[in-house]
Amino acid sequence: MTAKPNRSGAGAFFAGLLRHQIMIPLAAMLLLTIFHLIVDRSFFSISLMHNVNGDPVLTGSIISVIDSGSELAILAIGMTLVTAASGGQDISVGAGIAISGSVILRVLCGTNPSPEHMQAPIIVAFLIGCLAAAACGAFNGALVAFFRLQPMVATLILFTAGRSIAAWVNNNRLPVVNDIEFKYFGGYIPGIPIPTPFLIAIVCFIVTWAMLKFTNIGLYAQAVGINEKTSRLNGLNPAVIKLTAYVILGLCVGVCGLIKTSRVGSINYSVIAKDIEMDAILAVALGGNALSGGKFSMSASVLGAYVIQYLTTTLYSLNVRPAAISAYKAVVVILLVVCSAPAVREKFSRLMKKARAGKPSGSAA
Amino acid sequence: MKKRRIFSLIAASVLGCTCMTGCGGDKKELIKVGIINNDPNESGYRTANDKDLKAAFTKENGYDAQFSYGKTNDEQMQYAQKYIQDDVDYLLLSAAGTAGWDGVLQDAKKAGVKVILFDRVIDADESLYEASVVSDMEKEGETAVEWLKAQNLSEYNIIHIQGEMGTAAQIGRSGALDKTASELGWNIVSQQSGSWSAENAQQIVQAVIDSSKPFNVIYAENDDMAKGAVTALDKSNISHGVGKDVIVMGFDCNKWALKELKEGNWNYDGQCNPFQSSYLIDIIQKLEKGEKLAEKTIIMEEKGFDAATITQEDVDQYGIGE
Amino acid sequence: MGEKTVLELRGISKAFPGVKALQNVDFTLHTGEIHALMGENGAGKSTLIKVLTGVYERDEGQIYLHGDHSKSVQIHSPQDAQQAGISTVYQEISLCPNLSVAENIYLGRSEGRLISWRSMNKKAAKLLESLGIAVSPSQQLAGCSIAVQQMVAIARAVDMECSVLILDEPTSSLDEHEVAKLFRLMRDLRERGVGIIFVTHFLDQVYEVCDRITVLRDGRLVGSYDAEALPRVELVSKMLGKELDDMADIKSEIPASADDKTVPVYEAENLCSAEGIAPFRFYIRRGEVNGFTGLLGSGRSESVRAIFGADKVTSGTVRVNGKPVRIHRPIDAMRAGIGYLPEDRKRDGIIGDLSVRDNIILALQVKRGFFRPFSRAQKIRFAEKYIKLLDVKTASVNTPIKSLSGGNQQKVILGRWLLTEPQYLILDEPTRGIDIGTKIDIQKLVLKLASEGMSVTFISSETDEMLRTCSRLLVMRDRRLVGELTGDQLTQQSIMKTIAGGDGA
């Protein structure tokens, strides 16, 4: 059989890019950006100001987007792996953030819920918080991998009970950390005008990139997600790989717990990270990843997360009525998710091919 | 075989006797109370409310009390039915939603269970419950708005951060502001729901700051959201508090919030009184004695605190939480 | 056999990215005819069928039905094909295993909104009886054997009153008995005037039941012939496009029983798995090719899966090169230098959405370890090596493996295990669904590997393949090992006898 000659260099690169699933979140960002350029250019203005402590801070709507979208982007990383390997989603991440946040505050406050100073170094509290979150992840992962529960069913347990557990960790009191150092992680480090959550997110992206490059987790998660039986026959242990994915999501949850509690210095068990699991799943879907598992693109999910935040900030800036915000968000999200569904993309590329084939130019078939 | 049966019969009756004497207590029986509340983790207010009730309705005080929590009407109604079946003397209820309770209340009436509402009113015929101890959210809003009017600002540009849409607190507190704002022509720069979350409030205020629209009042319908709003102000180095550029208003009177008032960082905080147990116990005692109640609906007195006049005693006495 | 044409394809062309699957193909089918469609892997048979049935959209060409040349039929979807009277039974059964036989027959075809289960079952019973299929209409399909499932699929097609019935590799999973039943059914349909397109690799079957033969090669039509007029050897040479070497005898030069004193590469005693085979003793020496033979369901696959640790091993001692090892999971076997090509390539062999490259390197990568991924360049090198060695037809290393033809998929999986350089390779039905040319290549490859020192266990339902390559045959019956044949005993007759038993074998 004869093969068509490959298009050279840049042409091939862009053709490949266009077919890649990352096009959907990129296109969404482009559309939102064009919208702002037309309606309200000031959305993109960034200014360097000083906050009440005299530290330099960058401020502007775009800064708000990358700042507030950090937790979602970090969660999207873990959720992508979990989706890929187990073909399902973890809906307990919000409760997990409540637990890890509660643990962090417990370690910092000790038995007095409103101490003058922190009772332990922040790094220790953070590590213990991550441990707690990883334990939740392991719990979920074990149910899915060893007891073969459906992911959404398995994670329903922590979704229901998690926030109560978080409250119990602090004996149902509301701890408050007054130390200014703690607020650096959710705010700004003196001297660095870039919001710290974004810096933390960047660190997470780098760690993730390294993980995907220097280990086989990407290949294994995809293999297990696509065909578990075959993966086993090639020497993989699907249960361990699924468990690993959930624990990694747990670590992401731990990091988010730190950021969220650090933003306000306290916690409210029912309200913290409310409904964030839906947004995280949405980010994965927006990135064009199949929610039934298998191949994935991590960068597309992360971009998807920022698209969601971009949309939210846009709606706030337009001062849309609160009832209407949900409606607008829903419409945009439905459109985006439909466009990024693998079936729709296939149909679209078939149509494109037909259109190209219909053109008289080009070599004979 | 026969010996065994006789033996077990004797043992059972001995056990039974001891049980009965144990249950009865020394002098009088405990009053059986079933208490249904909303999620105690919902806010500092609710936590304080729950604690207050738990501290009041103890065995030492003469009550056999059971506590249940439900986020929705359906959940709460299930608990209510259970308590009615358990034959409690009193059913204390803070309903999640205002409508749909007629059926349950009638069941209670038939079973002879006395119902007392607390914290919020519900849409039901007055004959179906004995009494209610409530906060008038509308009044809370009105008190706040009156105070705001009394500030006599040259112009009013208000960021209105609402609570979770549809909740009694939000409806009451928003209603008051909406009414007066339209009457007096105040400019509502932005009106968004923060869903009781500090983080959302921060984003909302940040969006207004980024849009460069001028504002001088932040009306946040609870303390957490006021805190979030202040974080955004601090980031942009916008001064707030007594004698500063932006007036900050909150609700719930958490202790830490009243501290902010005392330190002059915030301007106003509206009380939502969670300490209803004393009223409730009072009512129950009266009913036990067979007295008639003076009023069916007791509206708790709720104040608004001004940062300029608040004292340390106020903080200690009225501040919720620790 | 009527002379009226029921189906005519003229000038059909279809191309995919990088590959021209069909070029200007003509095909004519008469009423009441069984017509074989043959060709090597990648010749275009599957593509032609899919174009006919609406799965693919043809790029060029016309389709005429019932001799009507006035209009070219447009088939855009499987529904269109059905309505045109074209029914298909695919190689991989596309029915619903969780539904009953009757439900599968009438799936998607109920008239009106309500279904009367009783009348549906009655209608199904009548249909099954008329076709001589002995199965109850209310039995769950998953509980039926593959052969029965296939016949149910055919019954469904027949019930839709097709004028053209396409059977795509229907006999791959059937034993002789079942094949005979199928042919009876096919002949019956032929009498009724149905035109049957029979896609197959089995030469014997073609000559047994077909009237005409069409040969495709490399996407082009080679020719259409009457079966009676075309000798076998000529048919094969047309398919391969060259003069065929003698495929009758390519027996290896290695003496049947190698040095008995050498330690076997692999040895197992009392090996037993949770799949219910009786504990058996097994050994294989360096450079030896042996095989398992027996009827369908006799436990051949289960035995080799136990060797590889693919099923739960419940007892037995295993020695590799004389040293005792524990093989309880596939990774243990892989580390001991064993490779396993599974019988069911779709379920156990390929990872569909992954590329050809990733499928090839997977086993070696897992062997290498979690923290030592191959670089992209290394992966491509490995993949290209085996694509070349095994002549795999694919657009590129990055093509998802699911878009390759069945035979090429098989080659990719074979390449995967060859890449791990095993000392002992187990091949379970490696030539199923593969064209003749490749079959021979694989057999030659097996012998070559054996001569270089690799031990191979070969399982095939075609006993002549086994006879050509194995020096020792283990015979299984009813899930137990009943005999071992070497040297002179390696004849069709003695195999049959041992399988049948009754001689104290």
pLDDT in tens, B166-190: 887 888 899 999 999 999 999 999 9
Pair C391, C415: CB distance under 8 Å: no
CATH of domain B137-272+305-318: 3.40.50.2300
Sign of CA dihedral C272, C276, C277, C278: positive
Cβ within 8 Å, pair C370-A217: yes
Cβ within 8 Å, pair C362-A223: yes
Cβ within 8 Å, pair A264-B198: yes
- Count of A–C CB contacts within 8 Å? 91
CA distance C61 to A365: 13
Q: Do chains A and C touch (3 or more CB pairs under 8 A)?
A: yes
Chain A hits for C311, Cβ within 8 Å: none
Q: Split chain C (505 residues) into runs of 10 and give each run's mean pLDDT.
A: 78 83 91 89 81 88 87 85 86 82 82 77 87 84 81 84 87 77 88 90 82 89 90 72 46 49 85 84 90 79 91 90 92 94 90 94 94 94 93 90 87 94 93 78 87 91 81 85 86 76 45
Closest chain C CA to residue A230: C348
Of C218, C353, C373, the CB nearest to A216: C373
Q: Report the candidate in C425, C480, C427, C431 with the shortest Cα–Cα distance to residue C450.
A: C425
Question: Which pLDDT score is estimated for A360?
Answer: 53
Question: Which pLDDT score is estimated for B143?
Answer: 92
* Residue B166 touches chain A, beta carbons under 8 Å: no
Cβ within 8 Å, pair C362-A234: yes
Rg, chain C, Cα only: 24
CA distance A317 to C235: 75
Q: Which of A270, A276, A318 to mutate to test the interface with B (most CBs of B within 10 A)?
A: A270
C410: which 2 tokens?
């098989």
Closest chain C CA to residue A290: C353
Distance between C361 CA and the closest CA of chain A, angstroms: 10
Distance between A191 CA and the closest CA of chain B, angstroms: 13
Question: Which pLDDT score is estimated for B39?
Answer: 83
Number of Cα atoms under 13 Å in the Cβ half of residue B205: 33
Chain A hits for C59, Cβ within 8 Å: 357, 365
Question: Which pLDDT score is estimated for A189?
Answer: 92
Question: Which pLDDT score is estimated for C296?
Answer: 64
With contact defined as 3+ CB pairs under 8 Å, the chains touching B are A
Distance between A226 CA and the closest CA of chain C, angstroms: 6
Question: Which pLDDT score is estimated for C246?
Answer: 42
Other Cβ atoms within 10 Å of B136 Cβ, number: 17
Other Cβ atoms within 10 Å of C300 Cβ, number: 27
CA distance C210 to C207: 6
Of A216, A233, A236, the CB nearest to C310: A233
CA distance C214 to C403: 24
- Count of A–B CB contacts within 8 Å? 109
Extract the residue ranges of chain A whose pLDDT is less than 50.
Answer: 1-7, 361-365
Extract the residue ranges of chain B whose pLDDT is less than 50.
Answer: 1, 17-19, 21-26
CA distance C418 to B218: 72
Q: Report the candidate in A74, A62, A79, A65 with the shortest Cα–Cα distance to residue A309.
A: A65
> For residue A18, what are the contacts with CB-CB under 8 A and spacing of at least 6?
none
CA distance A290 to A300: 12
Other Cβ atoms within 10 Å of C178 Cβ, number: 19
CA distance A145 to A138: 10
- Continuous segment of H or E residues that includes residue C271: strand C266-273
Cβ within 8 Å, pair A263-B202: yes
Q: Which of A217, A233, A356 to mutate to test the interface with C (most CBs of C within 10 A)?
A: A233
* Residue A119 touches chain C, beta carbons under 8 Å: no
Cβ within 8 Å, pair B40-A167: yes
C487: which 2 tokens?
């040297």
Cβ within 8 Å, pair B203-A316: yes
Chain A hits for B40, Cβ within 8 Å: 167, 172
Question: Which pLDDT score is estimated for B73?
Answer: 84
- What is the side-by-side strand order in the sheet with B304-306? B187-193, B157-162, B217-220, B247-251, B268-270, B304-306
Cβ within 8 Å, pair A234-C347: no
pLDDT in tens, A313-328: 988 888 888 778 878 8
Q: Name the 3-class secondary structure at C144.
A: coil
Q: Which of B75, B203, B209, B235 to mutate to test the interface with A (most CBs of A within 10 A)?
A: B235
Please, where in chain B does CATH 3.40.50.2300 lie? 28-135+274-291, 137-272+305-318
The third-level CATH classification (topology) of the domain covering C253-337+423-505 is Rossmann fold (3.40.50)
Other Cβ atoms within 10 Å of A160 Cβ, number: 12
List chain C domain ranges.
5-240, 253-337+423-505, 352-421
Cβ within 8 Å, pair C331-A235: yes
- In percent, the amount of chain B with pLDDT more than 70 equals 91
A176 forms bridges with which residues in the sheet?
A266
Cβ within 8 Å, pair B41-A313: no
A77: which 2 tokens?
């990383």
CA distance A269 to A261: 11
CA distance B219 to B166: 18
Q: Do chains B and C touch (3 or more CB pairs under 8 A)?
A: no
- What is the side-by-side strand order in the sheet with C5-16? C19-30, C5-16, C60-65
> For residue A114, what are the contacts with CB-CB under 8 A and spacing of at least 6?
A175, A176, A178, B256, B322
Of C59, C340, C358, the CB nearest to A219: C358
Chain B hits for A188, Cβ within 8 Å: 235
Chain C hits for A216, Cβ within 8 Å: 365-366, 369-371, 373
Question: Which pLDDT score is estimated for C500?
Answer: 67
Distance between A75 CA and the closest CA of chain C, angstroms: 24
Q: Report the candidate in C96, C49, C16, C78 with the shortest Cα–Cα distance to residue C402.
A: C16
Architecture category of domain C5-240 in CATH:
3-Layer(aba) Sandwich (3.40)
C interface with A, Cβ–Cβ below 8 Å: 13, 15, 17-21, 42, 59-60, 218-219, 308, 310, 329-331, 334, 340, 342, 347-354, 358, 362-363, 365-367, 369-371, 373, 393, 395, 416
Q: Which of B164, B204, B206, B227 to mutate to test the interface with A (most CBs of A within 10 A)?
A: B206
Closest chain A CA to residue B39: A270
Cβ within 8 Å, pair A60-B210: yes
Closest chain A CA to residue B166: A323
Of C59, C353, C366, the CB nearest to A235: C366
Does this chain's domain C5-240 share its CATH topology with C253-337+423-505?
yes
* Residue B66 touches chain A, beta carbons under 8 Å: no
Q: Report the candidate in A291, A238, A246, A253 with the shortest Cα–Cα distance to residue A142.
A: A246
Cβ within 8 Å, pair B203-A68: yes
A interface with B, Cβ–Cβ below 8 Å: 42-43, 49-53, 57, 59-61, 64, 68, 113-114, 163-164, 167, 172-174, 176, 187-188, 260, 263-264, 266, 268-272, 274, 312-313, 316-317, 319, 321-323, 325
Of B193, B199, B210, the CB nearest to A322: B193
Chain B hits for A114, Cβ within 8 Å: 256, 322
Q: Is the domain covering B28-135+274-291 a CATH 3.40.50.2300 domain?
A: yes
* Residue B322 touches chain A, beta carbons under 8 Å: yes
Q: Report the candidate in C358, C392, C411 with the shortest Cα–Cα distance to residue A236.
A: C358
Between the alpha carbon of residue A149 and those of residues A152, A154, A244, B281, the distances in Å are 8, 6, 16, 48
Of A216, A219, A233, the CB nearest to C348: A233
ipTM field = 0.85
**Which amino acid would we find at residue A244?**
T
